[in-house]
Every structure is written in structure tokens, then in C-alpha cells.
């Protein structure tokens, strides 16, 4: 008998993701001026208010209020009726200098001896389930809310959409762990109060009419667009899909006005949607000396290259660190019995360890992490994305514009496949 597995995603307008994007935009602006910046920026967003807190060590000056407002406006919170908009919200900054106790444990005379910024364990995962070697339920969940945001920005259809939305996808699998079909889709989207009661129409009737319109638009506009993104998506949508749209009813009050947002509260959305594992540490707002972030990216890089090389069909990679110590405590690999070589997972890990230097500074250099590449990671997943080179614009401490060309999502490259094949005789 098969089984069901679910994953969720949230849009860039979800309050927690607003917080993540502000934190990462602040980080990017420090790194753009000073690539050696040490940053740990936490953000809270609520009705009409943004609070920034955390620690920074940098030679750069960043106008964090301007950065936060730019992010909020880009997301789409531009109207006072949302009770949270980029031009009028209050912004309070409590960023202060990084603790010297932490700093002394991280920096070294020899950069390659740089210690981990904190203790903890990090995971990477990959599977042959999709072309980008990610779990299909999460991929579809991301696609639904990302495409919903695209429709909102286009302004041609579903013109009532507001920035906050969530999705959840349940996939039915067969006995061989292969996805068979989409079982259930849940879409909840914030919207304008676009149908009002009249002399002949009660509030309840108006709300029911709004919900019916949104449900039909999700079914006839959103889902066909998502199916058109990928042939695998299209094949998994059958006629008997269960669809829930705004199941609680009206969803006018949303975003930071409807629910306070905090950095780091969507870590499963950020990674593998519940497949594999997550070490517990959040990503956004942290510079790459924090192995919570950089080692999780490196573990995904290892996992993806293992599967891409044909060494295993599915793999989980774990790495762990002690604060201030460069060499990781362990490198653990679990191929779930899918290894294509006659070696134990422990023997595979020993060989993989020779191919990937997992010291924090080595990770930074290999994956080019000391650049302003992070704001783009803060919505629709940090992993499973497409590596791309872009030019980004910033302001220096004097307010002068400058730009940097950077490479995004380097940990998604399959640039170690040849080395793995050679090492394992594939």
C-alpha cells in the first residue's frame, strides 16, 4: 500500500518571510561594502512596525531603514489599507556590535583555521524525485505561491490579490516510493474585500461569492499556470484532486497586520519541506561564518552532487561543528539503501570527506559566500534553486549608488560530479 506525504510553502508576503527578506537585505548591504562583515540580524514585523535587532561587526555604514522600506515595497506592501506599508511603517533598529567573546572564537591568523561561528548540526538532502533533485511536494508548494505572486504583479487576472499567501501539497506515493499523483492542494491567499453587501445581499452572501470567485480562479488560472511550468507537475495533476481554497473563508486581514512575523520561523519551507532533516538553525540574517547557514548549503551541495553523479538515488548528509573549531565533528551520509556501489554508507562518507573541505572558510571560498547573494534566498526556498549570475544595486555609506555582479545559489551546481565519479569508479 502506498502513502501520502505533504509539504507547505509561503509567499514572499507572508509575515515571517517579510522578516527573512529584510534580515537578508541588511546582510547583503553590509557584505556589498565590506565582504568580511559579521552579521546576525533578526527582524520582527507587526502592524505598522519593523524592529531590527542583532549583532554586526563591519567597516560599512548601512541605512537599515532605507533597506527595510525598499524590501517591503518590493514585496507589495504599498497601501495604507494593509496597515503595514513600506513608506509609512515605523522602523526601530537595535543592531549593535558583535560580542568580542564570539569574535575571538571565530577569527584566526590563518583564515583557513577560522572556527565555526556556533555549534550545531546541519543537513543536506537530495533525491531523484525531480529534475532539481528536490522533493516534489515542496517544489509544487513553492510553485503555487510564487506563481500566485507573479499573477498579482502582472495585474491582469485575480486583481484582488494581496501579498500574503500559503500553500500545501499532499502527494500520493506508490509502494516503491515513487510519486503517483497530487492528492490534495491547499491555497490560502489574502485578498481585497472586493464584493460588498447590498440591500439584497447579506455580508455572508457577499463573502461566499468572493470565496467562490477565488476558488474558481485558483482552479482555472493558477493551477493551469503551475502545470505549464513543468511536465512532471502536469502529469501529477489528475481529475480527482482535492482542492481547498481559503478554507477558513474571508482572508482580507493578513500580512504583518494579521500575524506578527519573525526571522527564521519558516526553516522547513526554506529547506526540504519535511523530507530529509533539518538541524534546527535558521538561515536568514546570518553571514557565512555562521555554519547554521554555510554548512547547510555545503551539505546540500554534497547531497546534490552525490545524486547527480549516480552514486545514490536519495541521500541525507549531516555535518556538525563546535563553536570556534574549524574541523567538523562528523560527516554522516545515509543513502536510504539506494547506493549504487558496494560500499557501506560509512565507507561512502569517508571517501566523500576527501572531496569536500568542510572547514568554514573553505566552504565560504568554494561556494563564494562572502558576497551579497542572500536576499534572493529568503523566499521560495534556499535550496532547489537555479544558479544564476546577476547584477545588484546598492548605496555606500555616503548614499552613492554602486553595483556588484554576483553568482546566486552556487551550492546548487553539480560541479563535483566528475570528482565523485572518479573516486567511486562510476
Binding residues: 14, 16, 42, 55, 98, 164-166, 250-251, 259, 265-266, 282, 286, 290
Three-state DSSP string of the chain? CCEEEEEEEECCCCHHHHHHHHHHHHHHHHHHHCCCCEEEEEEEEECCEEEEEEEEECCCCCCHHHHHHHHHHHHCCCCHHHCCCCCCCEEEEEEEECCHHHHHHHCCCCHHHCCECCCEEEEEEEECCCCCCCCHHHHHHHHHHHHHHHHHHHCCCCCCEEEEEEEEEEEEECCCCCEEEEEEEEEEEEECCCCCCECCECHHHHHHHHHHHHHHHHHHHHHHHHHHHCHHHHHHCCCCCEEEECCCCCCCCCHHHHCCEECCCCHHHHCCCCCCCCCCCCCCCECCCCHHHHHHHHHHHHHHHHHHCCCECEEEEEEEECECCCCCCEEEEECCCCECCCCCHHHHHHHHHHHCCCCHHHHHHHCCCCCCCCHHHHCCCCCCCCCEEEEEEEECCCCCEEEEEEEECHHHCCCCHHHHHHHHCC
Binding site membership for L-methionine: which residues? Answer: 55, 98, 259, 290
CA-to-CA distance for 55 and 117, rounded, in angstroms?
13
Binding site membership for K(+): which residues? Answer: 42
For cell 555535518, the residue is 319
Binding site membership for Mg(2+): which residues? Answer: 16
CA-to-CA distance for 275 and 160, rounded, in angstroms?
34
Residue 247 near residue 185 (C-beta atoms within 8 A): no
Residues contacting residue 341 through CB under 8 Å, at least 6 positions apart:
311, 348, 424, 425, 426
Residues contacting residue 409 through CB under 8 Å, at least 6 positions apart:
373, 376, 377, 385, 386, 387, 388
Candidates 63, 32, 58, 27; CA nearest to 43 is: 27
Binding site membership for ATP: which residues? Answer: 14, 164-166, 250-251, 259, 265-266, 282, 286
Amino acid at each position: 500500500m502506498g502513502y501520502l506525504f505533504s509539504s507547505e510553502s509561503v509567499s514572499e508576503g507572508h509575515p515571517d518571510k517579510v522578516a527573512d527578506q529584510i534580515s537578508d537585505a541588511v546582510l547583503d548591504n553590509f557584505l556589498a561594502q565590506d565582504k568580511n562583515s559579521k552579521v546576525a540580524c533578526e527582524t520582527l514585523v507587526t502592524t505598522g512596525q519593523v524592529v531590527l535587532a542583532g549583532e554586526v561587526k563591519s567597516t560599512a555604514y548601512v541605512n537599515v531603514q532605507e533597506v527595510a522600506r525598499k524590501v517591503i515595497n518590493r514585496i507589495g506592501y504599498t497601501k495604507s489599507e494593509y496597515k503595514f506599508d513600506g513608506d509609512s511603517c515605523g522602523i526601530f533598529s537595535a543592531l549593535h556590535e558583535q560580542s568580542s567573546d564570539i569574535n575571538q572564537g571565530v577569527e584566526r591568523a590563518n583564515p583557513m583555521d577560522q572556527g565555526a561561528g556556533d555549534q550545531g548540526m546541519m543537513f543536506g538532502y537530495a533525491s531523484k524525485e525531480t529534475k532539481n533533485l528536490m522533493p516534489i511536494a515542496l517544489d509544487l508548494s513553492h510553485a503555487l505561491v510564487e506563481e500566485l505572486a507573479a499573477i498579482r504583479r502582472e495585474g491582469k487576472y485575480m486583481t484582488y490579490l494581496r501579498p500574503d499567501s500559503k500553500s500545501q501539497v499532499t502527494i500520493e506515493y506508490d509502494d516503491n516510493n515513487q510519486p503517483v499523483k497530487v492528492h490534495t492542494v491547499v491555497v490560502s491567499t489574502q485578498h481585497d474585500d472586493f464584493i460588498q453587501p447590498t440591500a439584497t445581499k447579506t455580508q455572508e452572501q457577499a463573502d461566499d461569492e468572493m470565496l467562490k470567485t477565488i476558488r474558481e480562479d485558483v482552479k482555472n488560472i493558477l493551477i493551469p499556470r503551475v502545470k505549464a511550468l513543468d511536465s512532471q507537475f502536469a502529469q501529477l495533476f489528475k481529475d480527482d484532486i482535492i482542492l481547498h481554497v481559503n478554507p477558513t473563508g474571508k482572508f482580507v486581514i493578513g500580512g504583518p497586520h494579521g500575524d506578527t512575523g519573525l526571522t527564521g520561523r519558516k526553516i522547513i519551507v526554506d529547506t526540504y519541506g519535511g523530507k530529509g532533516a533539518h538541524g534546527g538553525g535558521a538561515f536568514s540574517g546570518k553571514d557565512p561564518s555562521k555554519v547554521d547557514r554555510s554548512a547547510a548549503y555545503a551539505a546540500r551541495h554534497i547531497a546534490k552532487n552525490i545524486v547527480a553523479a549516480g552514486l545514490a538515488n536519495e541521500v541525507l548528509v549531516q555535518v556538525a561543528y563546535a563553536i570556534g573549531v574549524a574541523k567538523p565533528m562528523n560527516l554522516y551520509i545515509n543513502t536510504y539503501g539506494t547506493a549504487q556501489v558496494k560500499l557501506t554508507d560509512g565507507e561512502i562518507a569517508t571517501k566523500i570527506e576527501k572531496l569536500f573541505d568542510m572547514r568554514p572558510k573553505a566552504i565560504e571560498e568554494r561556494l563564494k559566500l562572502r558576497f551579497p547573494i542572500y536576499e534572493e534566498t529568503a523566499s521560495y526556498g534556499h535550496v532547489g534553486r537555479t544558479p544564476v549570475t546577476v547584477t545588484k544595486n546598492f548605496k555606500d555609506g555616503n548614499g552613492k549608488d554602486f553595483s556588484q555582479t554576483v553568482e546566486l545559489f552556487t551550492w546548487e551546481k553539480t560541479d563535483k560530479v566528475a570528482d565523485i565519479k572518479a573516486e567511486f569508479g562510476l
